Chains A and B, each alone.
Chain A
């Protein structure tokens, strides 16, 4: 019998070992692939590697916008609340305060918990467990969690003691001996760690916790706002809203010093709740920060649509990879690979910066690089062990603009000083390279960041770059257009350069009285003098001779009625649909009749709309021997020159162009741009034409002021257009000081010298 029984025991033993072995073989042989995947997933994690956004440089390579990688200090309240002594103590006290408002005399903040940790611990530990009997299960569970973690108890043991204490009507402090000293010591250790962090950040003592308190207050407000509509029913949903918000990292310091990075990476558990993220941030260098904020544009958070696109792809990706393997045919595998790559490398992440205006937005496809990705292996305590796989990021391409940062700054300062509203364009007439593109009023980058809403509402339209995108109705070119009228007449043979026409100051056409500026008669004058003095009557007569069609044709040939294509995405080789700078096209207006032709001749009617950039292009054609250039703003993308569009011949003979030039020189000598008050444009050998168009702006009669020209007139290297909107004084008087002031600046002189040297 005994032997039999021993045999039976042997059989039982064999059975037990058999069970173990079968389970073992099941795990290792049959479920091996699953556990292998789990092993990899639990140890490793993919992380994006940021790229550096491409720089935007001026023509000499000086940065207008730089990409750089900074270490950002983030704070995750969820982790902090659950894994640090102060966080736990705070969480517990807040829970008590929420549940038993009449018993809590004090609204605890983290700063208060830290500075009076002894009192805080006392508050928690004196709490009777029996008093939470009426709480709901979740709240009880939360309090248990806080107490257990604070007192360093393992869950099972804590549960046992909790039950025991509950039976004896004990307090939280009865769970372990010396509970208060334990908590206070742990809090002191954490305070020390936080003080180290503060020192590394260069913050004043105590400010870190105050800052965290602010963040927490903001978070609470957000939770309240998002759950306000939920009603009392969905406790679960409410908790999940809170959890999601608490888990969202909040940036404490966008650029943490390296010492902070070192501290946190050295002992991560000492800084639970704090994280360092290496992020790419746009840097606008101080020297060029505000020279062209509207043109260069800025970066900001990605649009909700972009985030939504990413989320859609993420869901599709999750769905496809979850398909059973037999349904994953080649096309699905391909789609999975595509989606994975998009999610890893391309889709905009919520915390990334994208161009939201100006060139930053237009050039987004090239400035934005391609994120890298790395697979990290981490140790059990979440330290980085090694990088298993690395796809290096591709940095964005640098973009070199034609702008001359110095000249741009000078132009902007001069314009700001002399005009309330207006624009100033300087370009090289030979190839259309834009050297300066100023507008006023214009915001600084600080304005854009801090008072964007005000800027949007401002009736002066400070967010519009008046050089290419005027707010409201674009202005008419006015007398500046007389250059085109003269050219059309000369080319049509309707006017001889030497022919004299008479001006009495007024002209009667049908029942309408047309007049020269201030009705001053000019007498008998030739076309050069008419251009110099900007005689309306002379050009009315010309219009009567040539009629409307040739005028309109000439306007078109000179580039009116179409956008100049500055930074046109298509011309830059960017995908169709890329947002451009929003340049106004200013189409020609339809109309007919003599009066319409006459008004067109002096730069109204058919050409009622134009931009300073178009005007500058038109005078460039006069300067460069008859070619309508395509203004270029972007010279190189990633070191590769952007192909220049071939200039289009305007179709005016040299004789005609000489006449126009003579008229413009004469205007500077004795005409509308003649020297006054020491502003002598002759010194700079400027050839120019002024204009004083009239317009109705918001029901009010206004006059604008123009001057367009080039210099030096014998070998033009700069062409310019100045526009002053709603000017109190006429064309020349308003614009001459601006041109003179700009040319007096050494930056302009250098630009001329450089232009001559090219």
Chain B
């Protein structure tokens, strides 16, 4: 028997084109945020990362998704080990976080970015067998699989990286058919928990203050200041002005300048590489965490809408692939990747727009950084592979192929179970 062919009729060009377009936008803004008069900034580096990412994607696309199965858990274990090792000081503490591991030639790698993809794979593998997900205990295994790396990432500390994983888990469980009551119930529980947590004695005052600071509206306070001054109440106005200044320069510094950048962009922006807030360096981390602010400033509502649309289309294409995929593993994988991108985009852009507290999540394919880009392309590669091998995986040919491997027996068992399940559910996909 021959190697299963990658089916290019089924290959999803829309996805690749969207991702490449998004990456192109990313390159533009990486240039815009980091170039100097005599240098291209991080652009060459970013191009290099793209150059590494594309062949890796091709390599993954050529593999039928099933072939990955036996690597999932070793990879999961390995990544957890790396995350644990990181906690014990393997990484530099210069920036107050242990998210990075130095690699050769001064390149550093951020394992948490890959961990996200591995978690998606692991959860997809857990859920593909179509066990019932009716009771709360049924959720324990997938929740545990997510919780371990999520907590490790949160301890780095990278709360944003951990927060990204929760919606991923939720979406995958939901797609895997968790009972609706559980969905609504947990949603309600989270809301109640959040409200009561705010009022509980467990939450410290400064944390509450931070929440309040988050709801502090600079335009509203500026308006109040204006009114006080107009009324000639200068003493009160002075206090409001002091507080405003403190907020602008202190707690909300990054978000304030991000909102300035975006708001001052207006309809059409100031032109690529010409945003004053960008070029004068008012935004820390403007080439990765706050790159959307620069997009807003330099291309205005038009450009930022285009970027949002690119991500939206990307995610839509992912969901359309998911709905076409009959293999549960592949489908869950694609849903997971879609949810991963959704929550990353939402967390990143939401922070830039002042909707969410600062978390430090990158914008997929746009933010500068090799780990994030490579992990994104690996995820896209997996999805494309799922898209390109729809029949093969469904009919289990690969299993016969792989049957010679050490884990062959187990695999064929699983494969036949999957086949049975797929057939049992087949009518539903029609």
A-to-B contact residues, CB < 8 Å: 1-3, 5-10, 13-14, 16-17, 19-21, 23-25, 27-29, 31-32, 34-36, 38-39, 42-43, 153-154, 156-157, 159-160, 163, 176, 315, 318-319, 321-324, 377-381, 385
Kindly state the separation between the CA atoms of A13 and B228 in the bound complex, as whole angstroms: 42
Q: Is the CB of A5 within 8 A of B175?
A: yes
Distance to closest chain B CB from A498 (angstroms): 83
Which candidate, B27-35, B42-50, B314-322, is the interface stretch facing chain A? B314-322
For this complex, into which size category does the number of interface residues on chain B fall?
35 or more
A321 to B222, CA, bound (A): 13
Contacts A1-B428, A13-B342 known; 13 new A-B pairs at CB < 8 A? A2-B323, A9-B171, A13-B319, A24-B262, A24-B353, A27-B354, A28-B296, A28-B304, A39-B260, A154-B95, A377-B280, A378-B280, A380-B280
B282 within 8 A of A: yes
Q: How far is the CB of A463 from chain B (nearest CB, A)?
A: 40
- Which of B204, B234, B354 has most chain A Cβ within 10 Å? B234
Q: Shortest distance in angstroms between A163's beta carbon and chain B's nearest beta carbon?
A: 8
14 A-B residue contacts at CB 8 Å?
A: A2-B429, A6-B175, A6-B322, A9-B335, A16-B342, A28-B300, A32-B264, A36-B266, A42-B256, A43-B276, A315-B232, A322-B229, A380-B281, A380-B283
| Complex alpha-carbon distance, A385 and B281, angstroms | 11
- Contact indicator A42/B282 (Cβ below 8 Å): yes
User: In the complex, what residue of chain B is closest to A161 when comparing beta carbons?
Assistant: B96
Which residues of chain B (305-348) have a CB below 8 Å from chain A? 305, 308, 311-312, 315-316, 319, 322-323, 331, 335, 338-339, 342, 345-346
Using A9-B171, A29-B301, A39-B277 as known contacts, say yes or no to A2 and B331 having CB atoms under 8 A apart: yes
Decide if B226 touches A10 in the complex (CB within 8 Å): no
Which of A19, A28, A176, A322 contacts B226 (CB under 8 A)? A322
| Chain A residue contacts of B283, Cβ below 8 A | 380
Beyond A27-B353, A31-B263, A35-B263, whether A9 also contacts B175 by CB under 8 A is yes
Q: Which of B228, B231, B301, B319 has a CB less than 8 Å from the CB of A25?
A: B301
How many angstroms between the C-alpha atoms of A39 and B298 in the bound complex?
13
Contact assessment for A39 and B219 in the assembled complex, using a CB-CB cutoff below 8 Å: no
Smallest Cβ distance from A10 to chain B, in angstroms? 5
A21 touching B308 by the CB < 8 A rule?
Answer: yes
Flag if B229 contacts A28 (CB, 8 Å). no
Q: CB < 8 Å: which of B96, B266, B277, B354 contacts A157? A: B96
CA distance A253 to B323 in the complex (A): 75
Do A2 and B175 touch across chains, with their CB atoms under 8 A apart? yes
Which chain B residues border A385 with CB–CB below 8 Å?
280
Is B198 close to A, CB under 8 A?
no
Q: Is the interface of A mostly helix, strand, loop or mixed?
A: helix
**Any chain A CB within 8 A of the CB of B177?**
yes
- Contact indicator B346/A20 (Cβ below 8 Å): yes
Residue B20 CB within 8 A of the other chain: no
Asked if B96 and A27 sit within 8 Å, CB to CB, the answer is no
Is residue B58 within 8 Å, beta carbon to beta carbon, of the partner chain? no
Tell me which of B97, B322, B425 has the highest count of chain A C-beta atoms within 10 A of its own C-beta. B322
Give complex CA distance A32, B264 in Å.
6
CA distance A398 to B283 in the complex (A): 48
Query: What distance in Å separates the Cβ of B365 from its nearest Cβ neighbour in chain A?
Result: 16
Which 5 A-B pairs give the minimum distances between C-beta atoms?
A35-B263, A380-B281, A322-B229, A39-B264, A322-B230
User: Within 8 Å CB of B248, what residues of A?
Assistant: 42
B367 CB–A CB distance under 8 Å? no
Instruction: Describe B's contact surface by its main secondary structure.
Output: helix
CB-based nearest A residue for B172? A9
A253 to B177, CA, bound (A): 76
With a cutoff of 8 Å between Cβ atoms, the chain B residues found around residue A379 in the complex are 280-282
Closest to B94 in A: A152
CA distance A743 to B198 in the complex (A): 94
Q: Which residues of B contact A36 (CB under 8 A)?
A: 263-264, 266
A23 CB contacts on chain B under 8 angstroms: 350, 353-355
CA distance in complex: A134, B288 (Å): 43
Chain B residues with CB under 8 A of A32? 263-267
> What 1/0 flags go to B277-301 for Cβ under 8 Å of A?
1001111000000000000100011
Q: Which residue of A lies closest to B312 (CB)?
A: A17
B282 touching A380, Cβ below 8 Å: yes
Residues of A within 8 A of B354 (CB): 23, 27
Interface pair B342/A381, CB less than 8 Å apart: no
Which A residues touch B204, using CB under 8 A?
163
Known: A6-B319, A43-B280, A318-B234. A1 touches B264 (CB 8 A): no
Q: Is the CB of B264 within 8 A of A5?
A: no
**B41: Cβ under 8 A from any A Cβ:** no
Which residues of B are found within 8 Å of A35, using beta-carbon distances?
A: 259-260, 262-264
The smallest beta-carbon distance between B139 and chain A, in angstroms, is: 16
Q: Which residues of A contact B331 (CB under 8 A)?
A: 2
Q: B residues bordering A, Cβ < 8 Å?
A: 93, 95-97, 157, 171, 174-175, 177, 204, 206, 218-219, 222, 225-232, 234, 237, 248, 256-257, 259-267, 276-277, 280-283, 296, 300-301, 304-305, 308, 311-312, 315-316, 319, 322-323, 331, 335, 338-339, 342, 345-346, 349-350, 353-355, 425, 428-429
In the complex, which residues of chain B have a beta carbon less than 8 angstroms from the beta carbon of A29? Answer: 266-267, 301
Q: Is the CB of B230 within 8 A of A323?
A: yes
Nearest Cβ in chain A — how far from B132, in angstroms? 13
Check B338 against A19 for contact (C-beta < 8 Å): no
Task: Tell me, in angstroms, the Cα distance from A27 to B354 when the chains sit together.
Answer: 10
Given the known inter-chain contacts A20-B346, A43-B282, please indicate yes or no for A28 contacting B263, CB distance below 8 A.
yes
A286 to B186, CA, bound (A): 86
B342: chain A residues within 8 A (beta carbon):
13, 16
Asked if B262 and A27 make an inter-chain contact with CB atoms under 8 angstroms apart, the answer reads yes
A13 to B315, CA, bound (A): 8
Instruction: Determine if A38 and B230 form an interchain contact, defined as CB atoms under 8 angstroms apart.
Output: no
CB distance from A225 to the nearest CB of B (A): 23
**Nearest chain B residue, comparing its CB with the CB of A14:** B312
Check if A315 sits within 8 Å of B296, measured CB to CB. no
Q: In the complex, A319→B218 CA distance in Å?
A: 20
Q: How far is the CB of B286 from chain A (nearest CB, A)?
A: 10
Give chain A nearest CB distance to B309 CB in angstroms: 8
Closest residue to B286 on the A side, CB-wise? A380
Q: How far is the CA of A377 from the CA of B204 in the complex (A)?
A: 40
A28 and B301 contacting across the interface, CB-CB below 8 Å: yes
How far is it, in angstroms, between the C-alpha of A327 and the C-alpha of B319 when the chains are bound?
55
A6 to B264, CA, bound (A): 37
CA distance A532 to B330 in the complex (A): 131
Q: Are B263 and A39 in contact (CB under 8 A)?
A: yes
Q: Which residues does chain B contribute within 8 Å of A5, judged by CB atoms?
A: 174-175, 177
Which residues of the other chain, B, contact A39 by a CB distance below 8 angstroms? 260-261, 263-264, 276-277
How close is A84's CB to chain B, nearest CB, in angstroms?
18
A564 and B345 CA atoms in complex are apart in Å by 85
Is the beta-carbon distance between A318 and B229 smaller than 8 angstroms?
Answer: yes
Report the separation of the CA atoms of residues A471 and B105 in the bound assembly, to the nearest whole angstrom. 86
Bound CA–CA A17/B232 (angstroms): 43
User: Known: A2-B177, A322-B227. Contact between A20 and B262, CB under 8 A?
Assistant: no
Nearest residue (CB) in B for A158 is B96
**Chain B residues within an 8 Å CB radius of A163:** 204
Among A24, A38, A154, A159, point to the contact of B304 (Cβ < 8 A): A24
Query: Inside 8 A of B234's CB, which chain A residues have their CB?
Result: 315, 318-319
Complex Cα distance A212/B50, Å?
Answer: 54
Return the chain A residue nearest B229 by Cβ: A322
Q: In whole Å, how far is B211's beta carbon from the nearest beta carbon of chain A?
A: 13
Rounded to whole angstroms, the CA-CA distance of A377 and B279 in the bound complex is 12
Q: How far is the CB of B99 from chain A (nearest CB, A)?
A: 12
Docked-complex contact B206 and A159, CB < 8 angstroms:
yes
Give the one of B96, B171, B305 with max A CB within 10 A: B96
A3 to B430, CA, bound (A): 10
Q: How far is the CB of B218 from chain A (nearest CB, A)?
A: 7
* Closest chain B residue to A385, Cβ basis: B280
In contact, A19 and B355 (Cβ under 8 angstroms): yes
Contacts of B232 in A (CB 8 A): 315, 319
Minimum CB–CB distance for A71 against chain B, Å: 25
Chain B contacts for A27, CB-based, 8 A: 259, 262-263, 296, 353-354
